[in-house]
A and B are shown apart, each in its own frame.
Chain A
Amino acid sequence: SSELTQDPAVSVALGQTARITCQGDSLRSHYAGWYQQKPGQAPVLVIYEKNSRPSGIPDRFSGSSSGTTASLTITGAQAEDEADYYCSSRDNSGYHWVFGGGTKLTVL
């Protein structure tokens, strides 16, 4: 199996840009997906296949990837973006999935 590593916490001023990163060997071969989870709610996919957004996800959310690092960028963070964010991908075998430990985003 493989692991995905995220910073536990990131803070951003309202209206500024937040960047959340995810590191892991599996990201060389597999796309990262990014999930937003608010307290008491199920996760919501916000970015998949490097930089695709499901319908209904605001275009201030974007993704990128280089080597073993994937990034989620929120351009012009809003108060409602305060949440936990998880990255996920297949592991090196391709038949298992892994999640990062999550990043708590605080919008100041």
Chain B
Amino acid sequence: EVQLVESGGDLVRPGGSLRLSCAASGFTVSSYYMTWVRQAPGKGLEWVSFIYSGDRTSYVDSVKGRFTISRDSSKNILYLQMNSLRTEDTAVYYCARGPSSAWNYWGQGTRVTVSS
């Protein structure tokens, strides 16, 4: 059974850093397209980043240069390293697994609050 479990969300000051983890079971993270999607309070879904074949990566413009997506095949974990956090990064962060055309498995989300 495919499962994704996010962790690492917390309250952090503006300018701070966090690393989110997404522990996968039932499949190998290195074999699939993996993504992070966030949802600010009361708002819609926003795509943040994805990692695909050959560990190539892509980011939404608002996080480029601040966030880094990566995966550890030995631990079967997807990460999102978030630096220089801003108040507008406050959201629930979901990890999800592809095929290449859509995201068919999602975690339950982890909450990130950026506030002074």
- Which residues from chain A sit less than 8 Å from chain B, CB to CB? 1, 30-31, 33, 35, 37, 42-45, 48-49, 54, 84, 86, 88, 95-102
Q: Which residue of B lies closest to A44 (CB)?
A: B106
Q: List 8 tightest A-B contacts by C-beta distance, closest first.
A: A33-B102, A48-B102, A97-B47, A102-B44, A42-B106, A99-B45, A95-B58, A45-B104
Closest chain B CB from A8 CB (angstroms): 10
> Are B101 and A43 within 8 A (Cβ)?
no
Q: Which of B50, B61, B103, B108 contacts A33 (CB 8 A)?
A: B103
Q: A54 near B45 (CB under 8 angstroms)? A: no
Tell me the bound Cα distance from A1 to B59 in angstroms: 11
A88–B44 CB distance below 8 A: no
- Inter-chain CB contacts under 8 Å: number: 57
Q: Is the CB of A35 within 8 A of B45?
A: yes
* Beta-carbon contact of B101 and A49 below 8 Å: yes
Show 7 residue pairs from A and B whose CB-CB distance is below 8 angstroms, ordered by the A residue: A42-B94, A43-B45, A43-B103, A48-B101, A86-B45, A88-B47, A88-B103
A1 to B37, CA, bound (A): 16
The interface on chain B, measured as residues whose beta carbon lies within 8 A of the other chain's beta carbons, has a size of 21
> Which residues of A sit under 8 angstroms from B96, Cβ to Cβ?
43
Q: Give min CB distance, B41 to chain A, whole Å.
A: 12
Other 6 A-B pairs with CB < 8 A, given A42-B109, A43-B45, A96-B47: A31-B102, A33-B102, A42-B107, A96-B58, A96-B60, A99-B44
- Cβ–Cβ contact B102 & A1, under 8 A: no
Chain A residues closer than 8 Å to B61, beta-carbon distance: 1
CB pair B47 A31 closer than 8 Å: no
A54 CA to B47 CA in the complex, in Å? Answer: 21
Residues of B within 8 A of A1 (CB): 61
Chain A residues closer than 8 Å to B45, beta-carbon distance: 35, 37, 43, 86, 88, 99, 102
Bound CA–CA A49/B47 (angstroms): 18
**Separation of A33 and B98 alpha carbons in the complex (Å):** 11
What 0/1 readout, one digit per residue, does chain B (21-41) give for beta carbons within 8 Å of chain A? Answer: 000000000000001010000
